[in-house]
Amino acid sequence: MRTADGGKTWQSIKADEAQWSLSSVYFKDDKAGWAVGFAGQILYSVDGGLKWKAIKSPANGWLTSIAFDKSNHGWITYDDGFLTSEDGGLTWKPVKTDGRYFLARLLRMNDTLWAIGQSVILRQNGATGWKRIDTLVPNTAMQGAQMETSK
């Protein structure tokens, strides 16, 4: 489905390149967009989603989410971790991680990307790294909560 008026009306688009279910769509602007999905599918559009072209994927798993960071590096989450693109989304390569996270979503908050998985939250750490977040509660708040409960 495609909209050109902010979601007021929708147009059905048939993409012959889409062989399996798609799970995430990301547009950098009004024209350049990507869609990812099952069986390693990566599709690219240069005309606002009217037509799509398949891009070679280095992964055969379920690609779950796609986003670009502030420095125009592309990121895709999938079963085993991440794919990244350093050329604006034209080519993709796998990124080694220290575990299997089964990542489901990428979220961009301000200038930082966050990756959410079944039992993990990762925060982008520099242009090519990710840091596991063990708690979302700052230490000072946890100490205050512990003091309150011990009264």
Say which residues have a Cβ less than 8 Å from residue 22's Cβ, sequence separation at least 6: 35, 36, 37, 38, 41, 43
| Distance (Å) of CA 89 to CA 28, 69, 74, 138 | 10, 12, 6, 35
12 part of a folded domain = no
CB 82 within 8 A of CB 93: no
Q: What CA–CA distance (Å, rounded) separates 95 from 108?
A: 19
3 part of a folded domain = no
Domain containing 36 equals: 22-149
CATH number at residue 122: 2.130.10.10
10 part of a folded domain = no
C-alpha torsion sign, points 17, 27, 11, 104 = positive
Higher pLDDT, 98 or 22: 22
2 part of a folded domain = no
Q: What are the structure tokens assigned to 7, written together?
A: 């979601």
Write down the pLDDT at residue 51.
87
110 part of a folded domain = yes
Q: What CA–CA distance (Å, rounded) separates 66 from 43?
A: 11
**Mean of pLDDT values over 19-46:** 90
Q: What are the structure tokens assigned to 64, written together?
A: 């779950």
- Number of domains forming the structure of the chain: 1
**Mean of pLDDT values over 41-50:** 91
14 part of a folded domain = no
103 part of a folded domain = yes
137 part of a folded domain = yes
**pTM metric for this prediction:** 0.79
How does the average pLDDT of the chain come out, rounded? 83
Percent of the chain surpassing pLDDT 70: 87
DSSP state of 145: H
